[in-house]
Amino acid sequence: MVSFLLNTQMNHIQEEKADLTLLEYLRENKKLTGTKEGCASGDCGACTVVVAEISKATDYSLQYKAINSCVTFLSALHGKQLITVEHLSDGNNLHPVQQSMVEEHGSQCGFCTPGFIMSMFALYHQNSEIDREAVINGLSGNLCRCTGYRPIIDAALNVCGNKIEDKFSRVEAQTITTLKSIGRTSVDTDNLIIPTSRETLSQAIQSHPTAKMFAGSTDLALQVTQQLHTFDKLISLSLVPELTTIDTLEQGLLIGAALPFNEIEPELLKHFPDLSELLWRFAATPIRNQATLGGNVANAS
């Protein structure tokens, strides 16, 4: 059973297609059509949503990440909170990032706007200082065809420079308690296995030799959305501790194969600062929040 919070509401999915994308789930199953489909291949950002999860570093705060729902399988939400553009306003009041976009005239046709808003919302919840470079990086996965980027960047800079507590921060402790109640539990259904140890991963691979493994799914999901391929059974690598930690050893770094690039980056740059340009050029923020080193090596990208 895959369990997650959709905004503040707990959802338990007993059985679903293993290759159901998050975008399909939102638009078709939940009728949450604020999240748009543009390219269905991780390139345009129209489908951007935010996933909040308990910070691995502190255990008492949430980390908010923008991701592309078109290249994410629903199972990636297990133990996390999903926030879409429909969830941002507080009663009749727009969220500060939405208000800032209005004030800066950051939208024309509006098709790209929900995606930009969600990337901005993730930026708004970063603990670090948000300067122009951080804004450009944070919005790097969102394309706009008609407004132009200047007012959008201004909207992000203004709102991130004048942050106030929003409705998500106000209930953060409560959200963490709820997410902890789901925990990093394993999932074993007819079409999806999420092992939580090296041993159970090994057993799953041996028992289901034809099942496809995946980590960030930024590559595998393209086979579903672009080539209309179906996967009846999938094994997720995302909750295996050995694959999702980074350790500094005397002779080097031991990097878990299922760690997303954005989680590897801080440690890697401490030792190899010149890699920053390479990482900067690798896809864009929402993809780097999911794409893993193991997947990158395995698909020879």
Where does this chain bind ligand FES (CB under 6 A)? 37-40, 42-47, 68, 70, 107-113, 144-147
CB of 97 to ligand FAD, least distance (A): 23
The binding site for ligand FAD (CB under 6 A) comprises: 41-43, 71, 212-220, 237, 257-258, 282-283, 287, 290-292, 294-296, 298-299, 301
CB of 300 to ligand FES, least distance (A): 22
Q: Which does 149 bind (CB under 5 to 8 A by kind): ligand FAD, ligand FES, none?
A: none
Q: Which does 109 bind (CB under 5 to 8 A by kind): ligand FES, ligand FAD, none?
A: ligand FES
How many Cβ atoms are within 10 Å of 253's Cβ, its own excluded?
14
Q: Which does 145 bind (CB under 5 to 8 A by kind): ligand FES, ligand FAD, none?
A: ligand FES
For ligand FES, the closer of residues 145 and 198 by Cβ is 145
What number of residues does the chain have? 301
Q: Which does 6 bind (CB under 5 to 8 A by kind): ligand FES, ligand FAD, none?
A: none
For ligand FES, the closer of residues 76 and 182 by Cβ is 76
For ligand FES, the closer of residues 97 and 268 by Cβ is 97
CB of 236 to ligand FAD, least distance (A): 9
Q: Which does 283 bind (CB under 5 to 8 A by kind): ligand FES, ligand FAD, none?
A: ligand FAD
For ligand FAD, the closer of residues 31 and 281 by Cβ is 281
For ligand FAD, the closer of residues 175 and 292 by Cβ is 292
Distance spanning both ends of the chain, measured CA to CA? 32
For ligand FES, the closer of residues 44 and 88 by Cβ is 44
Q: Which does 291 bind (CB under 5 to 8 A by kind): ligand FAD, ligand FES, none?
A: ligand FAD
The rounded distance, in Å, linking the Cα atoms of 76 and 80 is 8
